[in-house]
Structure 1
Amino acid sequence: MSESVPVLILTGYLGAGKTTVLNHLLATAHARIGVVINDFGDVNVDAALVAGQVAEPVSIAGGCLCCIDDPRQLDDALRALARPGLDLDAVVIEGSGLAEPPALIQLVLASEVPGIRFGGLVEAVAAAHVAHAESGGWDLEQHVKAAAVVLLTKSDIAPPEELARTRERILAANPHTTVLDAPHGAVDPALFFDAAKHTVPEGAQLPLWEIGEAPGEHGHHGHEHHVHHRAVSLDVPAAVDPAALADLLEDPPTSVHRVKAIADVATPSGLRRFVAHSVAGYVTVERARRPAGEPPHSVVVAIGPDDAASSPVDLGALPAAEGDPAPSSPQLRRLTRFL
């Protein structure tokens, strides 16, 4: 069974640097990315800015995604991008500056397009321009409440005290988000999806690609900007405890932005394999095919920025003890309720 494609939502007020973030992601991710560009107005200006870099662009013009008359417009775009033949690593929806994040999230969560899953909301905030944006009606606290990651764009030109004040306000409004400096829109794609999954060496597990190309190589900026991540992984020839895995997915440590698991679980009818994802409190679980007769094998990776101040992630409780009976129905339901 092929994995579903993560759908990321990229939002921020007008001028916050969304398109710069998107261009950096497209130029450095070493991945196949589809894009839905939501332009407010009749002229697709943003579509022109990313032309030539995107694997499969789809544009919805004439309105904000959260208030379009027919939500099927978004479904049509996602359906076009979720075609198995495209084999995309991710889809990015660039919302207009007027988009309300909770409404955008609900549109993606309510989508009936097969083969996609919500991959997190990313909010771009230019700290030096927050006061100006708020004078126009934008609300920092409301817009970051649902964000998996908040990117402080243009952080290289913002006064240090303004950066610190903006960071404090964001974390007060959403203690579970990850706040990252993103000068020139630099962000590590490994925080959101498995970059370059098509080109890793045979046998490698869950590729985590380091940003390799400087934005200057694509004509954007003349300086390199690397945003590093750290990953804690568990790779064991064993089944996992479904309740322990559900706990990690539902309530990961504050330093963890994303959890991915390809896990075998013992059931009364035999071993079953699941692929699970957790991004900022949003959990998805899918069944996966297990080759007949293959011994149990589970891989779990927790990913977060390497500057996060938190204790290491403890994955020691995940493997089921050897000889344990199959988990009870309530234990198993803790995980399968996310299917």
Structure 2
Amino acid sequence: MAVRTPLTVITGPLGSGKTTLLRHILETVPKKIAILMNEFGEIAIDAKIIQGKNVEMADLGGGCVCCSLLGEFEAAVNEIIDTVDPDQMVVETTGVAEPDALVFDIQESLQRVRLDGVVTVIDADAMVKYPSVGHTTRIQIEAADTILLNKVDLVSESELQAIEKKLNSINEIASILHSVRGKVDPDLLFGIGRDRVQPPPHHVHQPEFDSFSYTTSATLNRQCFAEFADSLETDVYRAKGFVRFSEGIYLFNFVAGRWELEPFEQEATELVFIGKQLSERKAEIIGLLKKCEQ
């Protein structure tokens, strides 16, 4: 009987640190890992962050991996096994995906993989700033075998205890690990050997977010861009991408009102903005960015 390839699902809300965790895994795990990514937004920013790290990738594009892309997902899994024969497969879902249908499909339909576990990444700081747990986030927490409570350095000890209590009230089975920038012992994420059976999902998607992108070949003024990033309001929940300044190109990450820049090799400015009813602010946001072009 053929050995099934272990497959781990990484899920979690927008900006919780899923791609940062993937980068840590790729830097520390000495295995041949195949990554499947499903992103929300027109530009596959996360795929470009991961690219070039000796991994085989299938970028599933926009949409939700737990609904319209199930057929494509199965084909991608089989193709990767045929062409790459990886030691481990990791699926990163978009932050707006409800993973229960994906987990059910893996258990029922994919004969060549075994579901090793579901890892849900949660942003501790965002849990403090936005304490109401939405429909999608709740399903992501419920599906977890392991919850990676990320960015714990940004909250107090009492806040951390309150977050853990809330997570335990939603999922009393999952183990909770703490991390800063996704740094965790990978041995705690793999080899879980999930023994729970996922029942068929009975949900209808409740679209909470929309997105738009901005690209330019121009160089942006760094001070102007910093003021722009500081001005992003709560209706922009997540922004990410690459920004070209005169001194080089940087990876830009914005989530829950917090942002940072990291030097990164890329070709031009490409940004994706994700939020609620964002189409109403698209022209205004792009106008502010154009003012930063030099």
- TM over 0.5: same fold? yes
Q: Distance in 2 between matches of 1:82 and 1:143?
A: 27
TM score, norm. by length of structure 1: 0.54
- For 1:167, what is the secondary structure of its paired residue? helix
Match of 2:116 among 88, 101, 119: 119
Match of 1:36 in 2: 36
**Structure number with bigger Rg:** 1
- For 1:65, what is the secondary structure of its paired residue? coil
In the TM superposition, residue 96 of structure 1 has moved relative to its aligned partner by 0.4
In the TM superposition, residue 144 of structure 1 has moved relative to its aligned partner by 1.2
- For 2:94, what is the secondary structure of its paired residue? coil
In the TM superposition, residue 87 of structure 1 has moved relative to its aligned partner by 3.2
Match of 2:292 in 1: none
Match of 2:60 in 1: 60
Match of 1:86 in 2: 84
Note the residue ranges of structure 2 that are not aligned, 5 or more in a row.
Answer: 199-294
Check the 8 A contact 2:100/2:139 in 1, yes or no: no
Note the residue ranges of structure 1 that are not aligned, 5 or more in a row.
Answer: 195-257, 259-277, 284-339
Check the 8 A contact 2:117/2:190 in 1, yes or no: no
In the TM superposition, residue 140 of structure 1 has moved relative to its aligned partner by 4.7
In the TM superposition, residue 282 of structure 1 has moved relative to its aligned partner by 5.1
In the TM superposition, residue 133 of structure 1 has moved relative to its aligned partner by 5.0
Q: Distance in 1 between matches of 2:15 and 2:195?
A: 25
Q: Distance in 2 between matches of 1:129 and 1:280?
A: 30
Check the 8 A contact 1:13/1:98 in 2, yes or no: yes
Match of 1:76 in 2: 75
Equivalent residue runs for 1:316-335 within 5 Å: none
Check the 8 A contact 2:11/2:121 in 1, yes or no: yes
Match of 2:196 in 1: 281
Match of 2:220 in 1: none
Task: Tell whether 2:22 aligns with 1:22.
Answer: yes
Match of 2:159 among 137, 162, 167: 162
- For 2:109, what is the secondary structure of its paired residue? coil
- For 1:40, what is the secondary structure of its paired residue? coil
- For 1:99, what is the secondary structure of its paired residue? coil
Q: Distance in 2 between matches of 1:87 and 1:192?
A: 21
- Number of corresponding residues: 198
In the TM superposition, residue 115 of structure 1 has moved relative to its aligned partner by 2.1
Relative contact order higher in (CA < 8 Å, ≥ 6 apart):
2
In the TM superposition, residue 22 of structure 1 has moved relative to its aligned partner by 0.8
Check the 8 A contact 1:141/1:170 in 2, yes or no: no
TM score, norm. by length of structure 2: 0.62
Aligned-pair identity (%):
31
